[in-house]
Structure 1
């Protein structure tokens, strides 16, 4: 069901991603072993990942493991490999981890070792091919050791393992992986990038129409268009709007619920930047205000507004660093002409409130 609020597990329930799935499958069949799946927050990366790997297992019998990097780091940033190893063994024994840091299908293993490298070696030996995925992989940068060393070791030594990495903070993920840094462990490793874009307005409208059709609901076109305009082409927000309507809320009540929900989600995502400096929030509020009347905000105008707000001179180089970090985290996008905007209208509304 399109309006299911749980991560999708069947590719049939993932709307509008057939081309991306077929690209993933083709590259996998071509022997590619390192994939990076990216897209804005709430775009449906986790659903795409689970559904794709389930379908690949159904078609090709390739077992897989999915590591929730955010949960792993929250459990033990000092030694995430220990958490992953323990939970892979639980999964392999047919038991679920209480914290669900690792999920998967098709992996069966007996191992006395508790070392992640040895467990992965055994999986590599046992299966002709297996997939190890790290969802929201950018959180692995908080590990006390360089986790990319392990990823490079897997790539170089375990030829039957495929690595899949996903991330919503695209710039942060890129800086963590450092594919173009000749000093970095993953430098020069061949990898396939799969980008999950927002739906265009027609796709977003069709998504809502199909979702409501599954419940035999007829929703006025003007309300669907209003939802598309307000929530843009972000599947996560559209899904929750549809779910609230199915559960009986009116159009505007459903919109308001999604915006309230989004505020909590975005605040939790923004917490890391808040802890670094209050300027990040100030800049987001300034950009949201400026772009309420024009498409983009010029860096000069942001600088002037921030200077006025703080009552002191702001160094232009410092501002550029703040802006680029907000771009890295996916909260802003840069046009390339010294102008910025908030790509997600829901995020924009949160900072306008």
Structure 2
């Protein structure tokens, strides 16, 4: 039986030009790079680009003793975990991936998505899409697989170096990487771009968000907001037209209204967090009794923490119990490193009372953070939680 081999020079060229894979194939610009001149090249680029760039990022970061074996294991796991629909499309030369509500970016949290309508005072307008237990477990696992132990995704790594215009936007669209992820230094990939003196990368990410506004779907923006992504309403296009104006011009009235009111909602989130730090229980109860109360409870701040995370760090049992009674799903939400409220509680002085409240309401003792640590780890190793408590004290 005849066999087809890919020579080493071709494969090396494919790896060295991995950045160009995104975008060039889908727009037919195969002449820009010699590796795309053949049907063989298109086939490999379409079907291997995503798993290879993820695998190579993991290898570069973890530096395993046997990188070849690591690569083989990674690709084997990738094959078993990929979506059946994706597998059925294997071999097609057109790999354009439309942005849909089923993408990982739109399934970010493992506790259900809330559709928020700001400023109308109608509690009945908040609706929740419930996720099954099996889906939650798969979701949590996916979040751990998407990033390394320092909280960095492949987009963080990509943003640290220069790319051709539009390359990062293609990367985000093709891989569905989550732009809201914050690393252990609380940096999004956009923040990394600016720190690495790569402003064009940050602009590419902004263009991606603008493209979502052109489409007009509310859900991506609800998720960006609830995850504490801090560059939404300040984005403008090349003509300095704001994202809110773009949504309005396109006739997306609901989205335009959401963007107009987002600053107010963010300010209310910050007030809630400050009242928790100050121990003002009365005002805390007033804020969460608002029609957007559940959204405010799950909304994350710059540090990736929810109101429950802060209440645990402040060791305020009354507020903690009130929050988990109102919204038990808060127990499943992790911070920037996927540490839950129970992870935090195990490192505080009020461990017995706080952990009892959380566990009784359904907190899982086996949930792992990005470093693979269960909550019990922080009972013996309190330094990380003490540092977080100091940060909250400084924010008062």
Q: TM-score, normalised by structure 2?
A: 0.29
Higher relative contact order (CA 8 A, sep 6+): 1
More helix by share: 2
Q: TM-score, normalised by structure 1?
A: 0.31
